[in-house]
Amino acid sequence: MSRRISQRKKRRLGVVVPLASMGDIAFLLIIFFIITSNFTKEPPVELELARSVDVEVLQTPRILVVIDEDNGYWVNGEARDSAEQIEWEVLALLDGLEKPEQRVVHLKVDRRATKSVYEPVINAIAKAGGVIGAIGEEGSPAP
């Protein structure tokens, strides 16, 4: 009788860890991080930005408004026709955000744009409740 017991103790079942589902989990995590990431959509235009010796680094923008050299308006990479459209879109994008640091709207203006073009956009962002973060390049101002 003791002999049978010792034979049973020697037999052990191997533990099998299913690794097939690990790939699924990794794939789902990658998709989760892509969806929750904030990718700013740059418009398909080249800009000559204003220069200043006093430039600070800003966080990645939630909202990016661009005025190109042809006086075209862009919000998060999509063309807009007027400052009024920008105001309504910024208002919608800022809905529910209370803290000032969450309400920052990055504004890129081509340095050849005139005041009559960018001033209505600045007013529109302000009316929508945005905090303007002007984007420029570091260096000596151009004459």
Rounded-to-integer distance, Cα 100 and Cα 16, Å: 53
Residue 1: what pLDDT?
52
Please choose, from the candidates 77, 75, 79, the residue with its C-alpha nearest in 3D space to the C-alpha of residue 41: 77
Residue 136: what pLDDT?
79
Residue 133: what pLDDT?
87
Residue 13: what pLDDT?
72
For the stretch 111-135, what's the b/e string if a residue is b when 16 or more beta carbons lie within 10 angstroms of its beta carbon?
A: eebeeebbebbbebbeebebeebbb
Task: State the CB neighbour count (10 A cutoff) for residue 7.
Answer: 8
Residue 22: what pLDDT?
78
Angle at 21 between CA 20 and CA 24, to 5 degrees: 110
Coil vs helix vs strand at 93: helix
Residue 5: what pLDDT?
55
Q: With a cut of 50, which residues of the chain have pLDDT below it?
A: none
Token couple for 43 = 């418009």
